Structure 1
């Protein structure tokens, strides 16, 4: 499932391609046809992400709410001499014609495979946002909201970080890598963390995810652990990017050399280093 940086990057592409221009809205697949007819010809005023949720705002405070899920894609193409026919099961298509006030050709965005694509009011959009945790990529995010949940919970921090109501936008890669970088075992109870440690984790996460928005990939290793610095082969994985523990089960830790471990938690795999992320043991007595 795409992580939060992917949605923020996508929102930026959609704004660049369509914001301020009237758009042709259609549903070649047919599942969004009634709503598309209501929006066709409206000006797209903006696009924003909140965690893994994407919102397209059109005139008169109408929003298209999109959640890509596991297989969804929203492909944006700009600078086109002509608009191509849709290919495959396109749920939502946005088109900006060359005559739409820009000199850079036409633009097309095709949404396929999303688990959510619905026309909603501002009230509904605000309700979805209110149910989500703070998003590290948003300037208006408040990490204290997440800390209020974490500091009271006996659930593993590895589960809490994947709860979109605690922190919005973290997926399995950022979860694994953040915990490694801060030497936190994924099964450590949330309430055992110190507030200072959480603040450090939040600030680190914001930097890592912002870099993901910029590059379109997840890189989490520090300069001294890059392939060039260590004289090792670059990572080869369909997720791309250089990481410490994610999908590196059985491979040596880049820091200490111990084999990376994995274990299931709430339907997803955890990855950690048993030496760099030792099991938490409370010092409480009785």
Structure 2
């Protein structure tokens, strides 16, 4: 399931390529035909991401709400414009890791999925081609160039087409039209998002909710009404970074630890948006950082490391099910 950083990057891509343009909307799959007919011919006027949900506004106060869920993704094709808040004008960028080491601006690191980890698709270069925006982000397809508009491939729930850019939505959990009041009601159900809410107010809200809940902290972090955007990877990593047992009831987690989790989430979310990767390792030198960006298994402390030794204490990392999702943690460090 796409976590918060991915959805914020998708929203930025819409802001650069779709907002301010009139769209042709269709539902090639047919499951959103009525909704697409209402969007067809309208101008996209704004976009916002909150947690794992995106809200795209059209004229006449009509909104599109999309939750990608486990399998959803947006495919963009056509002229894909660079987001200047992430990348430089020539489509290349340097990134600063958590320790402050800056890599060269023209470094290119391709991981096993052929993703450019340093200039990934939240800030792609101007190009003709197709990019996939989901948790497993891909780079430009080598055969992406061709006819315009591009042919429909697979089960496309919704296609939004401007004169230069095409956005295809596949496999979402939710794709619906909402009024402004319904949008506000949807957002009101969500916990604070560090990239949306005031950080201090978000910290107080998050801390207050967690500290009165008897529910295990490992479940609370996945509850989108408690905090927005955290998924399976960030849950495991935040708990490890806090050296916290996932089974600890929220009300028994020391207040200073709860606050540190919020602040850590705010920090990691920004890194995720800037790099396109859920990078959770600290204090890496340049070589180790490049290796981590090139290999997903090197980016995390415990996630996806079941049966392997803890990077710190050597204890075998445990895998269990919590909240119907896989949870990775170190029983020695996280006491």
TM-score bracket, normalised by the shorter chain, equals 0.7 to 0.9
1:109-258 matched pairs, under 5 angstroms: 109-140=167-198, 142-224=202-284, 228-229=287-288, 236-237=295-296, 242-258=299-315
Q: Which has the higher contact order (CA 8 A, sep 6+)?
A: 2
Structure 1 unaligned residues grouped into runs of 5+: 98-105, 279-286
1:95-110 matched pairs, under 5 angstroms: 95-97=161-163, 106-110=164-168
Other-structure match for 1:23: 23
Structure 2 unaligned residues grouped into runs of 5+: 80-127, 129-146
Mapped partners of 2:8, 2:328: distance in 1: 25
* Conserved? CA contact 2:49–2:55, under 8 Å: yes
* Conserved? CA contact 1:17–1:78, under 8 Å: no
Mapped partners of 1:201, 1:269: distance in 2: 20
Alignment equivalent of 2:155, drawn from 74, 79, 89: 89
Mapped partners of 1:175, 1:125: distance in 2: 27
Other-structure match for 1:62: 62
* Cα shift readout 1:161-206 (whole Å, capped 9, x = no counterpart): 0011101110010000001111111111100122222222111111
Other-structure match for 1:33: 33
How far apart are 1:136 and its partner, in Å? Answer: 2.1
How far apart are 1:62 and its partner, in Å? Answer: 0.6
Other-structure match for 1:267: 324
Other-structure match for 2:51: 51
Mapped partners of 2:6, 2:247: distance in 1: 27
Mapped partners of 2:39, 2:295: distance in 1: 43
Deviates more, 1:139-148 or 1:71-80: 139-148
* Conserved? CA contact 1:64–1:120, under 8 Å: yes
* Cα shift readout 1:10-34 (whole Å, capped 9, x = no counterpart): 0001111111111111111111111
What is the root-mean-square deviation in Å for CA atoms of aligned residues? 2.1
Structure whose alpha-carbon radius of gyration is higher:
1
Mapped partners of 1:174, 1:218: distance in 2: 7
How far apart are 1:229 and its partner, in Å? Answer: 4.7
How far apart are 1:83 and its partner, in Å? Answer: 1.5
How far apart are 1:211 and its partner, in Å? Answer: 0.9
Closer/same/farther in 2, CA of residues 266 and 66 from structure 1, 3 Å limit: same
* Conserved? CA contact 2:302–2:330, under 8 Å: yes
Closer/same/farther in 2, CA of residues 265 and 47 from structure 1, 3 Å limit: same
* Cα shift readout 1:201-224 (whole Å, capped 9, x = no counterpart): 111111111111111111101124
How far apart are 1:147 and its partner, in Å? Answer: 1.7
Other-structure match for 1:281: none
How far apart are 1:236 and its partner, in Å? Answer: 4.6
TM-score by length of 2: 0.75
Mapped partners of 1:154, 1:195: distance in 2: 14
Mapped partners of 2:76, 2:314: distance in 1: 42
* Cα shift readout 1:230-262 (whole Å, capped 9, x = no counterpart): 9x888855xx66000011011111112221112
1:277 is aligned to 2:330: no
* Conserved? CA contact 1:55–1:65, under 8 Å: yes
* Conserved? CA contact 1:68–1:116, under 8 Å: yes
Other-structure match for 2:122: none
Mapped partners of 2:286, 2:246: distance in 1: 26
